[in-house]
Amino acid sequence: MTQSPDIEATLARMQEELRPYLERRPLIIGIYTGGVWIAERLHRALGLEEPLGTLDISFYRDDFTRLGMHPQVKTSNLPVNIEDRHIILVDDVLHTGRTIRAALNEIFDYGRPASATLAALVVRDGRELPIQADVIGQYLKLNKNQHVKLSGPDKLILNIQEVG
């Protein structure tokens, strides 16, 4: 297992890239679990007044019939009406794109946002859907048998594991 250094520098870079979006008064929404940690940091750093939204996409996953219910489902909470608002969706790792597909579906069950922008701490190869990030923390060139996972929330660390 290896650890990728310096998440703080990456977060600072993402924060600067997101700054131009602020004039649109965006709402920040994090995807459980790692995405919420990143979203909390960005939300605080950018000084947004409206509260952070959180999404647990378990009820929207496309592999439910194969894998069943996730054992620990969190509660999605969008405290501000998203109708006609600009959304910044935040996740820790963009990989297949399926999580983002599910998150967009869930968001649209709450209303019709004016736009949705995706910010991801890590972007890696392996997309299975036509979904790309607008704000990218870092690219990681990983093999198929490598798995990247964020641990936190007190100290955010990216762990790269060899699997199977």
Partner 1 sequence: MTRGDLQLDSQGRLRHFLTIEGLQRQTILKILDTAESFISVGEREIKKVPLLRGQTVVNLFFESSTRTRTTFEIAAKRLSADVININTDFSATNKGETLLDTVRNLEAMRTDLFVIRHPDSGAAYLIAGYVPAHVHIINAGDGRHAHPTQAMLDMFTIRRYKGSFENLRFAIVGDVLHSRVARSQIHALTTLGAAEVRVIAPKTLLPMDVEKLGVQVFTDMRTGLDGVDVILMLRLQFERMSGALIPSAQEYFNLYGLTREKLAYAKKDAIVMHPGPMNRGLEIESAVADGSQSVILPQVTNGIAVRMAIMALILGGQP
Whether the CB-CB separation of 106 and 114 falls below 8 Å is answered with: no
Q: Does 75 contact partner 1 by CB under 8 A? A: yes
Whether the CB-CB separation of 121 and 92 falls below 8 Å is answered with: yes
Helical ranges in 19-63 per DSSP H: 34-46
Determine whether 79 is exposed, middle or buried from the number of CB atoms within 10 Å of its CB (0-12, 13-18, 19+): exposed
Q: Which is nearer to partner 1, 65 or 145 (CB)?
A: 65
111: DSSP letter: -
Site for partner 1 in 42-61 (CB under 8 A): 56, 58-60
Q: Which is nearer to partner 1, 82 or 89 (CB)?
A: 82
Q: C-alpha distances in angstroms, 133 versus 80, 119, 141?
A: 23, 6, 16
Candidates 10-18, 90-98, 105-113, 137-145: pick the segment binding partner 1 (CB under 8 A): 105-113
Q: Does 71 contact partner 1 by CB under 8 A? A: yes
Give the nearest distance from C-beta 92 to partner 1 in angstroms: 21
Q: Which is nearer to partner 1, 32 or 37 (CB)?
A: 32
Q: Which is nearer to partner 1, 1 or 67 (CB)?
A: 67
**Rg of the chain's alpha carbons, rounded to an integer?**
15
Give the nearest distance from C-beta 75 to partner 1 in angstroms: 5
Strand 157-162 to 146-151 pairing: antiparallel
Q: Which residues bind partner 1 (CB under 8 A)?
A: 56, 58-60, 64-65, 67-69, 71-78, 105-106, 109-111
